[in-house]
Structure 1
Amino acid sequence: MARFFTLEQAQQLVPEVRRMLNEAVEARAELEESQQEIAECMRKAHQMGGVDLDTGRLVLLRKRVDELGKKLKEILDQFEELGIQVKDLNIGLVDFPTKYRGEEVLICYQLNETGVGYWHGLDEGFRGRKRIDRDFLDHHEGDLVH
């Protein structure tokens, strides 16, 4: 079921979205760092014919990768349950579906922004962001489920 947000609803969710995005961005960065360390350990071990393999460290790293993967999945599931679309964890970008002049569009929020202030069409993406103006305010709808 799609949920459509009003601008006010999206704005009210920004503090929670910011917290969740910060956690997701951090977990993703730690996950990548741990995966890179595993790859480096394996590369070194391969070069040394397996002599320099720190299996204890690898076990800990793999456990950490599993934990971080689960944490990241839980956060992404929370976004999905709220009806918020995660677009890019590199820059902390999410979209809130809404309707504008009868068409589905997206209210856009990026982690470094103080609140929601942009929107774009479904096919326009981040580069097509437009400032929320009076026309948008007068002609957008939320609170619908279909």
Structure 2
Amino acid sequence: MKTFTIDEAQSLLPLLESLLKRAIDGKGAAQEVESQLAALGRRIYLAGGMRVNVEEVGRLRTEMDAHLRRVRESIAEIDSIGVQVKDVDSGLLDFPCRVEDQVVLLCWRMGETAIEHWHTIEDGFKGRQPVDERFKRRSNSNNRPN
């Protein structure tokens, strides 16, 4: 498992925020197309059957698949960096971090200006605590020459 210092995690935020925005936008667009398909299905049902525009349905499904592919690709790219996507809708990410021989998770949510919280793997988001000096010491110790 890749681990990050707080400085490394912080430096990734612009890229990660862009990828999250792409995933959130793609998910929203896919949900909109899904609503259009559901409405079409309701109209067909309520009309007792009607002539279906197969091309239109095919276009909508292709469009929805493209949006969902964009979501999956964005999440996969974040995952390949070593960052854990906890919730796409709120843009919640966790960064594994080693502090005092324990792996904990730096926790960031879209809209926050910096990584200012962490939690244990077991406690999750509900156990968020403010980042303290232990994280900054680790960050600074990586900058010293050997």
Listed as ranges, the gaps of 5+ residues in structure 1 are none
- Comparing 89-98 with 51-60, greater Cα deviation is found at 51-60
User: Which residue of the partner structure matches residue 14 of structure 2?
Assistant: 15
Aligned partner of 1:36 in structure 2 is: 35
Please state how far the C-alpha of 1:36 moved relative to its aligned partner: 1.9
Which stretches in structure 2 are left out of the alignment for 5+ residues? Answer: none
TM-score when normalising by structure 1:
0.88
Deviation at 1:140, TM superposition (A): 7.5
The superposition leaves residues 92-141 of structure 1 with CA deviations (integer Å, 9 ceiling, x where unpaired) of 11111111221111011111011211111101111211111123433689
| 1:29 to partner: Cα distance | 1.0
Moved over 2 A (4+): 52-57, 135-141
Which structure is higher in RCO with an 8 Å CA cutoff and minimum separation 6?
Answer: 1
How big is the alpha-carbon RMSD for the aligned residues of Structure 1 and Structure 2? 1.9
Tell me which residue corresponds to 2:83: 84
What are the residue-to-residue correspondences of 1:1-146 with 2, within 5 Å?
A: 2-51=1-50, 53-138=52-137
Q: Which amino acid aligns with 1:120?
A: H
With structure 2 as the length reference, what TM-score do the two structures score?
0.88
Q: Return the letter of the residue paired with 1:33.
A: E
- Give the number of aligned pairs: 141
Q: Give, in whole Å, the separation in 2 of the partners of 1:8 and 1:138.
A: 11
Q: Based on CA coordinates, which of the two structures has the bigger radius of gyration?
A: 2
Amino acid at match of 1:119: W
Residue 55 of structure 1 and its aligned partner are, at CA, apart by 3.0
- Bigger drift between 126-135 and 6-15 goes to 126-135
CA contact (8 A) 1:20 1:75 kept: yes
Change (3 A) 1:130 1:119: same
1:95 & 1:138 partners in 2: Cα distance?
20
